[in-house]
Amino acid sequence: MRMKQNQKNVEGINFVYVEVNGLLLALSTLENVSPALGLDLLRNLSHIIKDFCGVFTEESVRRNFVLIYEVVDELLDFGYPQYASTAEIRPCVCNKARPVHEGPRLQLPKWAEGSRKTQASNAANRLLDAGTEADNTNEVYVDLIENISAIFDANGTQIHAQLDGELDVRSYLHGEPTIHLAFNRDMFVRNRDRMPDPSSKTLALDDIHFHPCVDADAFDVDRSITWSPPQGFLCVATYRVSMAVIHPPIIVSYKIVETSPSSVELYLTISPRFREDFVAKSITVACPVPPFTDSVSFQLRSAGEEQMAEFSRKESTIVWNIDQMHGTGEEERLLARVHLSPFSRVWVVLVLGGVWC
């Protein structure tokens, strides 16, 4: 699930919200609570809803509103958050989920499939109670999600990069079996191990943290962990890398040309840096523009259904969406002609340039 998060204060009321698959989960409070507490609560709620409903979409919320109300009532007790897993809430929920039947899956051409070694499946989106007594299949799904934050200077030189990762498990196993998971034995963790030989090619992590239900006693010995997964979603581990050499898979560069006192041309270029047998999908590049921008016109190198650029006047941001990009392929370019108010020339350099991908 794609997730965006933020917090705002409007007239003394604190709002914390996350955007998941185009839907907003929000909470409000008059107290000065920790934003991380609210974001973690909403993030946990989105995973529990997906466990019960199979998918977290507008249609699933509409068809299972009473069930979701029960889940929220168990997570919040008179406004106090109660942290619980899907397995703990499941006995307290009386309603059964109504499945959402999605349309037929889009059949992509072979060149768009990349080097996929496993067949895509919707099994991970099934309902938690979808199995029957005759269904003896035991399934567990493991997702490794990594976010890279990188800072570049005006010349395109990388100044700093940090990688934040998490290991997510969604379990549909019967009973409470024990899962054994082994990591790379050459992995080095700075807050747990001694410094390795500088000449060795060791994967170095700054730190790694496990869920309380995980037995990590053997991690320092043979890099293995064990746990009995509850049904539903579980974040097994989170880790961070900042000292190693991190190469972002996509490089975004820009150039600003002032054509007149009230107009600016912004050139954006996206360069793939990953292997040619991989395909990057759902790429979004955002660039803020001055709030006094009158209009923006775009010129794409390959306009069509594969990519689209638009100007959000409400957020004063240029948003460039690309459906997919092949590794080591050609660069994608966007020319944005920004027309400003006559008095805004002083602010052009101060506002433009904060591009993120």
Q: Which of 100-104, 109-113, 221-225, 255-259 has the lowest mean pLDDT?
A: 109-113
Express each pLDDT in 137-192 by its tens digit: 678 888 898 888 888 877 778 888 889 999 998 888 887 788 999 988 888 888 67
Separation of alpha carbons 317 and 65, rounded Å: 34
Give yes or no for residue 199 having a pLDDT over 70. Answer: no
Query: Length of the chain, please?
Result: 357
| Overall average pLDDT of the 12-33 stretch | 86
Give yes or no for residue 41 having a pLDDT over 60. Answer: yes
Q: Read off the pLDDT band of 125 (50, 70, 90).
A: low
How confident is the model at residue 105, as a pLDDT? Answer: 43
Separation of alpha carbons 71 and 203, rounded Å: 40
3-state secondary structure of 298: strand
Amino acid at 100: V
Express each pLDDT in 278-319 by its tens digit: 888 888 888 888 888 888 999 887 655 578 899 988 888 999
Output DSSP code: residue 317: E
CA angle 53, 56, 62 (to 5 degrees): 75
Beta bridge mates, 287: 318
First-to-last alpha carbon distance for the chain, in angstroms, is 17
Return the sign of the alpha-carbon dihedral for residues 114, 120, 102, 89.
negative
What percent of the chain lies above the pLDDT cut of 70?
Answer: 78
Output DSSP code: residue 328: T
How confident is the model at residue 132, as a pLDDT? Answer: 41
Return the sign of the alpha-carbon dihedral for residues 186, 187, 188, 191.
negative
Structural element, H or E, at residue 138: none
How confident is the model at residue 120, as a pLDDT? Answer: 45
How confident is the model at residue 153, as a pLDDT? Answer: 79
Separation of alpha carbons 302 and 57, rounded Å: 31
Could you tell me which of 253, 327, 247, 341 has the C-alpha nearest to residue 289?
Answer: 341
Q: Read off the pLDDT band of 210 (50, 70, 90).
A: very high
Q: How many CA atoms lie within 13 A of 253 on its CB side?
A: 13
How confident is the model at residue 36, as a pLDDT? Answer: 85
Could you tell me which of 47, 50, 10 has the C-alpha nearest to residue 30?
Answer: 10
> How is residue 76 written in tokens?
């919040």
How confident is the model at residue 237, as a pLDDT? Answer: 92
Express each pLDDT in 244-253 by its tens digit: 678 888 888 8
How confident is the model at residue 107, as a pLDDT? Answer: 43
Amino acid at 83: Y
Q: Which of 60-74, 130-144, 163-177, 204-218 has the lowest mean pLDDT?
A: 130-144
Query: Tokens 């840096």 correspond to what residue?
Result: 273
Give yes or no for residue 79 having a pLDDT over 70. Answer: yes
How confident is the model at residue 244, as a pLDDT? Answer: 65
Burial 242-264 (b: 16+ CB within 10 A, else e): beeebebebbbebeeeeeeebbb
How confident is the model at residue 225, as a pLDDT? Answer: 92
Separation of alpha carbons 184 and 194, rounded Å: 17
